[in-house]
Each structure stands twice: as C-alpha cells, then as structure tokens.
Amino acid sequence: MSFDITPTAAQHDLARRTHEFAEQVIRPVAADYDQRQEFPWPVLEEAAERGFYSPLFYRDLIGDPTGLSLPMFMEELFWGCAGIGLAVVMPALALSAIGQAASPEQMLQWAPECFGTPGDLKLAALAISEPEGGSDVRNLRTTARRDGSGPDADWIIDGHKMWIGNGGIANVHVVNAVVDQELGHKGQALFIVPGGTPGLDMVRKLDKMGCRASHTAELKLTGVRVPAGNLLGGQEKLEYKLARAREAVEGARHSGSATLGTFEQTRPMVAAQALGIARAALEYVTEYANRREAFGAPIIDNQGIAFPLADLATGLDAARLLTWRASWMAATGVPFERGEGSMSKLAASELAVRTTERAIQTMGGWGYVKDHPVEKWYRDAKLYTIFEGTSEIQRIVISNALGAADGKPPLHVDLEPTGGPLNRMFGRGTPARTQVGNTALSMKDRVPAPVMQMAMKVLRPPRK
C-alpha cells in the first residue's frame, strides 16, 4: 500500500457528513458551552445518532488501511469546536489504550461500556497523568498491589490522577498504575476502574482556559478494589512483560524513547484536531480581511496582513501532509523510527497557536472580544502544545530518533519499493531505458511519424 492522498468516495462522504454535523450542530452552540463550561450531552446524543459515537465507528476508522479516515474525521469535527470535539472523541483515547493492552475478551466486554448506545450514552476516561508526573511518565506514583496470592486475587489501587478527560463522570476509567517499583515505567500496568467504584473520587472539575465544553478533573484513588479480570492483558501477560523488563532493566534506564514512543500512534489523531482549529481560524480571518476596510481598501490588500496568512496557509498544508503521512504509517504498520508521529503533533499544534494568534491580530480589537470566535479558538489551540506530550517532549522524541538514526536515510529511501524487476530495469534514468530511447530517436528520420509516435508511447516510463 503506497501513500496516496486521493480520498475514496467513502472518505469524502465521511468528511462531508462530519462537516455538516460540525456546521449545523456544533458551531451554533459552541460559544454557549464554552462560556458555561458545561458537558455537551445533547451534542453527544446527536453524534451517536449520526454514527460518530460507537466502538465500531472507531474500529472502522483505525482499520482504514489508507490511514486517512481518522485525520479527515478529526479535522472536520474540531473545525466545529475543540471543546465539544474532545467530549465526543474522549472515549476513543481510552479505547485505543484498551485496544493496545487488552485480551480480545476484555475488549469485547469493555468497548461497548465506553460509548453506550443512543439514549443511554456512556463515557470513558484515560487516566495516566498525575500531579507530579505529566511529561515524565517514569515519575507516576499511583500503585496497584494484589490482595492475596491466588490467580483470582483482587487488585488494590491507590493514587492521585490529574488532568483526566471525563475523569470521575466516566463509566470506564482506564488507569495506569505501578505494579513493580523497581522497574520504573516498565513496571506499570493498565486497569479498568468502573465509574462508581468505592474509593474512586473526583476531587474537582478543573476550570480551564480553553476546550471548556470538555470535562477535565482531578481524581483520587484510595484503596480502590478491582477484580483480577480488570488488569488489561491479564496476569500471565503482565508477568511475561515484567520478566522481560527485568532482563532489559539496564538498557531501559538509559532510554526514554520506548515509553514516549507508545504515544506516537495517537499523536496524528491529536494533530488532526489541531488542524481543525487552525483551519477554522484561517478561513474566518481571511474572509474578515477581505471584507474589513481601512484607509479606503480591504485590509488584505496590505502585504502586512496578507503575507502572514499566506505563510499560515502553507504551514497548514505542510502540517496536514505530516499528519496524513503519520496516520498512513500507523495504519500500514510502518514503524515511527524518525519520530514521525511527534513531528505531526508538533507541527500541527504550533501552527494552530500561531494561526489563532494571528487571527486575533488581523481582526484588531474585534479579535480580542467574544463577539467573534477567534479568541476562543486561541484559548482552545493552546492546549494542543501541552497535552498528549508537550512541544518540548515532541522535540525530545524527534531529536532522540535523529540521534538513534545515526545517518539513516529519509523514510522514502528506506521503505520497501513497490513494482517488479521490469520497473527497476526500465525505470527513469536507467542505462537500458536510455539506450533504447537513443536507438529509437536515431531512427526518427527513417521511420514514418505515426510509427515513431507509437514507439514513443510504448517507450513511456513505468507508471510508478
């Protein structure tokens, strides 16, 4: 499967239907939910009715071998509103973690609990970050210990989680906890903690700068008891993982990339969300700059206004290409050896901040007040250089990969080529092709023109 940005009819239709949903359902209520910082239940219901809120939907998005469905959906949804968008997609983050760790039986049991059904919606949360450890996942202090030694012994979880989307209101919390202190971040495991489990408490809902329609909370886990079956992947797999980690513990101490790399797969998804915010701001402000007059002419006639917008339009397309490439790599199993997932997240999130800031500047005073949505987009965009790995962490992943690559060629040189031996033998610039071409051209005065044209058609270079 080669990287191709031509959408299929189904992808095109998905993007169009998502855009309609964003325009007709999300945009009209976005400012209100932002101001009230309320969870947008009616919008989630509508999303579920339209087929955008179910485990099957995400299985289909992730299962698209071209990789394009997922970022196309995210960009359109977040074009509507990032806060509401986060509320809609939050269970997908939890589902993705379950998918990476769970047994097939656990997946079947918990995936429906993450979403529910229209009229009876459910929520899911992914609880990794802690007050002392956001970027530094080695510093996580939440612990899980067995209460007994038998294979059916319960787990007891104690700890403190911070910044958790849907935390405390979710039906399913996927909680990361340390099961072996000695092994640091390699000694962690994921557990399902159902909402309402005794000892799981929401300390507070956080009062955020942006993305305010999404619910983000601080959680405490005090003696939270879950059955053995809630350890994702099961005991046997955990013991195998811990044994391997013990063998490799020296190596692990010298490398941070394994843990950071775990997040690489979900980063293009988050990058596409940032693209949605950036595109919304760029479209809005370009239209404004065409309409708004100063000194007798539209302000876009000034290069001081137009050129930054041209730079942002270029940056937007560049970031989208990085995002689609990373998403295609995730879908086709090409390893992220150069930090390609991080590149997409870094480029898209920083572009979103630059674009929304420029949108405010372009609108002058009108950009600074809530009469227009750009100040909200600016607040929303800022989250994207912070969560799912800060910009600094993305740069660490990319520079580590750069160091590890040690002169490795770029991805396109490294990928397994498509096409057979004929393709290689008669490809552009090959001696065989040059020789045949020169021979044909040397006969051009002796051969009738139609025959020559036919010969040139036959001598076309390979299509790929």
Active-site amino acid positions: 388
87 binds ligand FAD (CB under 6 A): no
Q: Which of 386, 398, 452, 459 binds ligand FAD (CB under 6 A)?
A: 386
Interface of this chain with ligand FAD, residues 393 to 412, rule: CB under 6 A:
393, 396
Give the H/E segment covering residue 440. helix 431-442
Cα separations (Å) of 98 from 113, 311, 425, 454? 12, 40, 47, 59
Let me know the angle formed at the C-alpha of 217 by 235 and 72, rounded to the nearest 5 degrees. Answer: 80
* Amino acid identity for residue 250 in this structure: E
Length, in residues, of the chain = 464
Let me know the angle formed at the C-alpha of 358 by 297 and 388, rounded to the nearest 5 degrees. Answer: 155
Which one, 128 or 271, has the nearer CB to ligand FAD? 128
- Please report how close the Cβ of residue 111 comes to ligand FAD at its closest, in angstroms: 18
Interface of this chain with ligand FAD, residues 108 to 127, rule: CB under 6 A:
126-127
Placement of tokens 């879908």 in the chain: 331
163 binds ligand FAD (CB under 6 A): yes
DSSP assignment letter at 418 = P
- Please report how close the Cβ of residue 366 comes to ligand FAD at its closest, in angstroms: 27
89 binds ligand FAD (CB under 6 A): no
Alpha carbons 198 and 141: distance in angstroms, whole number: 20
Let me know the angle formed at the C-alpha of 77 by 75 and 82, rounded to the nearest 5 degrees. Answer: 90
392 binds ligand FAD (CB under 6 A): yes
Q: Which of 54, 66, 106, 129 binds ligand FAD (CB under 6 A)?
A: 129
Q: Of 377, 463, 356, 365, whose CA–CA distance to 418 is shortest?
A: 463
Q: Single out the segment in contact with ligand FAD by CB under 6 A; choices: 142-150, 161-169, 219-227, 419-427.
A: 161-169
368 binds ligand FAD (CB under 6 A): no
Alpha carbons 192 and 194: distance in angstroms, whole number: 6
164 binds ligand FAD (CB under 6 A): yes
Report CA 399 to chain centroid distance, whole Å: 20
242 binds ligand FAD (CB under 6 A): no
Count CA within 13 A, CB hemisphere, residue 430: 14
383 binds ligand FAD (CB under 6 A): yes
376 binds ligand FAD (CB under 6 A): no
Interface of this chain with ligand FAD, residues 180 to 219, rule: CB under 6 A:
208, 211, 216
Per DSSP, what are the bridge partners of residue 297?
294
128 binds ligand FAD (CB under 6 A): yes
Q: Which of 11, 37, 96, 135 binds ligand FAD (CB under 6 A)?
A: 135
Secondary structure (3-state) at 410:
coil
DSSP assignment letter at 26 = I
142 binds ligand FAD (CB under 6 A): no
Q: Single out the segment in contact with ligand FAD by CB under 6 A; choices: 9-17, 19-27, 349-357, 379-387.
A: 379-387
Which one, 40 or 165, has the nearer CB to ligand FAD? 165
Contact residues toward ligand FAD (CB under 6 A) are: 126-129, 134-136, 163-165, 208, 211, 216, 383, 386-388, 390, 392-393, 396
